[in-house]
Amino acid sequence: MLLIGAGLLLRSFARLTSVSPGFNSRNLLIVNLPLSPQVYDGDASRTSVVERIVSRMGVLPGVESAALTTMLPMAGAGSMIHFNRAAYPPKGPDDYVMAGYRAVTPGYLATLGVPLRRGRLLNAEDREGAPRVVVINETMARQYFPDRDPLGQRIQLGTEPSNEFPTIEVVGIVGDVKPSFEAGSNAEMFVPYGQYPDPILANLYLNTALVVRALGSPLDLANSVRAAILEIDTGQPLVNIRTMETAMAGTVAQPRFQMMLLMAFASIAVALAAIGVYGIMAYTVSQRTPEIGVRMAVGASPNRVVAMVVWQGTRLAVMGSSSE
């Protein structure tokens, strides 16, 4: 029974890890870059250092593209935010909708390889002072704009319409990026990094992370990426430089441990059962030595005697399995 359970768990784990995350995880180097709210205490200074980092990454040898985000993919659902839709005005403060929220630099979705379904991706013109835009995923389009084309629709952050924040135009729809292997896709929006004020993103900038797509092995870029960032800010911490594939493998560490543990117990159980059956049969054969001698004396072949003993052992094992 343990062996069967381990086999089923192994099959489930294989199917789990074969699920497409919604982007191309190969040749991606990621590093967390928490931006200090004391050093970068305003939108302008924070946006400036982010643009310098992305620009510097783009010219490093071996780098295909680079971008920053306030939440890495496959790292959980991320930050959730309330918003309201101009086409569906809320009836009251309790009639709100929510979606995942990531502030990203231009090129982030392209660097990950997230497919564009309709419209356009964020670009360099989507910055402070320009019309505010947002790209949403397919789940958000399907869930919150079921009866109309999401492109061109306007949304506003907050539970109710307010003059405090401007409306945002939906300019693109991209494929879903899974928050984890085992989770379903959530409604999610991507907004241009730097277009939104501190009251909205104050807690997100501590989670800023860099994503670099390499032309070759991503780990070969680790030293040059570290040196380039420290040239821009010698006090900027770089946390946990790793490949995206390594990060994704870490998200299934618990089910992998459970599978290995069950397989270990199943292997021990099978070994103990085999030893037990062998011991019983060895004892039985030793007790039946005279009988076996008589059988062979009257014409029974060695192969027939062996088959008889094996059949009795097999029957014993089957009976033991059935009783469990």
Could you state, in order of their start, the residue ranges of all structural domains in the chain?
17-251, 254-323
Mean pLDDT of 136-164: 88
For residue 277, the Cα-to-chain-centroid distance in whole angstroms is 45
Q: Is the pLDDT of residue 165 over 90?
A: no
| pLDDT value at residue 201 | 58
Q: How confident is the model at residue 276 (pLDDT cuts 50, 70, 90)?
A: confident
Residue 180 in tokens: 């984890």
For range 257-277, the mean pLDDT: 77
> Is 239:226 a contact under the CB 8 Å cutoff?
no
Bigger pLDDT: 120 or 197? 120
Nearest of 70, 71, 95, 76 to residue 84 by alpha carbon: 95
Residue 128 is encoded by which pair of tokens?
Answer: 């402070």
* pLDDT the model gives residue 239: 85
Give how far Cα 173 sits from Cα of 97, 101, 118, 121, Å. Answer: 18, 14, 5, 8
Q: Three-state SS string across 22-53, please?
A: CCCCCCEEEEECCCCCCCCCCHHHHHHHHHHH
Question: Regarding predicted confidence, which is higher, 197 or 263?
Answer: 263
What does the pLDDT look like over 86-131, one tens digit per residue?
Answer: 888 887 767 778 898 888 999 999 999 999 999 999 998 888 888 8
In contact, 96 and 159? CB cutoff 8 Å: yes
d(CA 84, CA 310): 73
Question: Between these two residues, 310 and 133, which has the higher pLDDT value?
Answer: 133
Average pLDDT in the chain: 82
More confidently predicted of 255 and 109: 109
Share of the chain above pLDDT 90, in %: 29
Residue 174 and residue 79: Cα distance in Å, rounded? 19
Strands 28-32 and 239-243: antiparallel
Spatial contact of 186 and 32, defined as CB atoms under 8 Å apart: no
What span, in angstroms and rounded, lies between the C-alpha atoms of 44 and 34?
17
Question: pLDDT tens digits for 41-86?
Answer: 777 788 888 889 999 998 999 999 999 998 888 776 567 888 888 8
Q: Which residue has the higher pLDDT, 163 or 226?
A: 226
Question: How far is the C-alpha of 84 from the C-alpha of 167, rounded, in Å?
Answer: 9
- Characterise 3 by phi-psi region: left (phi > 0), alpha (psi -120 to 50), beta (else): alpha
Q: What pLDDT is recorded for position 141? A: 94
Per the document, the length of the chain is 324
d(CA 95, CA 144): 13
